[in-house]
Amino acid sequence: MVTTTAARGRRRMVNGMAPPHPAVRGLKGIVLALCCAVVIVPFLSVVATSLADQEQITRAGGYVLWPQDPTFDAYAAIFRGGVVTRATLVSIGVTLVGSLLSVAVVALLAYSLSRPGSFGSRPVLMLVLVTLLFNAGMIPNYLLIKQLGLIDSWWALILPPLVSAFQVIIVRAFFLEVPKEIVDAARIDGAGELQILTRIMLPLSKAVLAVVALFQAVAYWSAFFNALLYLNSTEKWPLQLVLRTYVVDNAAIGTDLPGEVVPPQQSLQMAILVVSLVPILLVYPFLQKHFAKGVVIGAVKG
């Protein structure tokens, strides 16, 4: 009888703790469902509105939750116009180039700061930490970009956010966690610092570098303020600045559809918004497996 009672007690324990009461679990489920609804319902409304016609939009008061007879005329219109297509290509190019350069620079800087005795590591680390607290401001940054001759250049979108001090600290903390014996063994075999970085450190740090790449890709893809400041030519605008112009400023979107088929302006705006969201939604699942591991790397020592 005692053994049976003890076995039941062990079954009731989960990871050394008693499972929550069914009412508590039900309340947690309701709260989680509400949180998911807060995120999912607006997104579904945006997609549905982009597929709806003017009659459905008017009847629904501006935002449709479920379109009847969905049509892709809005997407055909924004891509035939050329502005959104060009802006999408610009955003993809800036995001790819910026993310790759950012990962490379962050990895190089973090590795140099993680090596004990490297020249100037302490002052440079202090400078990196200072940037977490202080920012030069908009006007000094603009004057710097102007002096470098980067006004109306795509490099003005890539170079300013290239290095994140927070990400440098995270990657440096990971490099410090790599056992010293591995590095010493590589040096005994004749490996130089560049070989140690490329053949040992980088393969071991795929998770944290994937997180850095994801954060930088989201930052580059979502940025519009630098484009607003530094770009004078509208043909160089990224997608987010086009989105801001057409959705936030409510500028009219020209169409080039044959005949008299003209999609509603709100459907066109929501279609641009969907186009701006889809790339990140497609990339994230491939990096998600690294995210949970990489985001906490360096947070716990020992």
CB within 8 Å of 295: residues ≥ 6 apart: 211
pLDDT in tens, 236-251: 889 888 888 877 666 6
Question: Residue 256: what pLDDT?
Answer: 47
Which amino acid belongs to residue 163? V
**Which residue ranges make up each domain of the chain?**
19-70, 75-294
**104-114, pLDDT tens digit by residue?**
999 999 988 88
pLDDT tens digits along 45-56 = 888 888 888 777
**First-residue to last-residue Cα distance in the chain:** 44
pLDDT reported for residue 251: 61
Q: Model pTM greater than 0.85?
A: no
Q: What mean pLDDT comes out for the span 249-267?
A: 61
Gap between the Cα atoms of 272 and 221, Å rounded: 14
Alpha-carbon span 148 to 24, nearest angstrom: 59
Percent of the chain exceeding pLDDT 70 equals 83
Mind listing the pLDDT tens digit for each residue in 11-40? Answer: 455 555 667 778 878 888 899 999 988 888
What dotted CATH number matches 75-294?
1.10.3720.10
Per-residue pLDDT, averaged over 293-299, amounts to 50
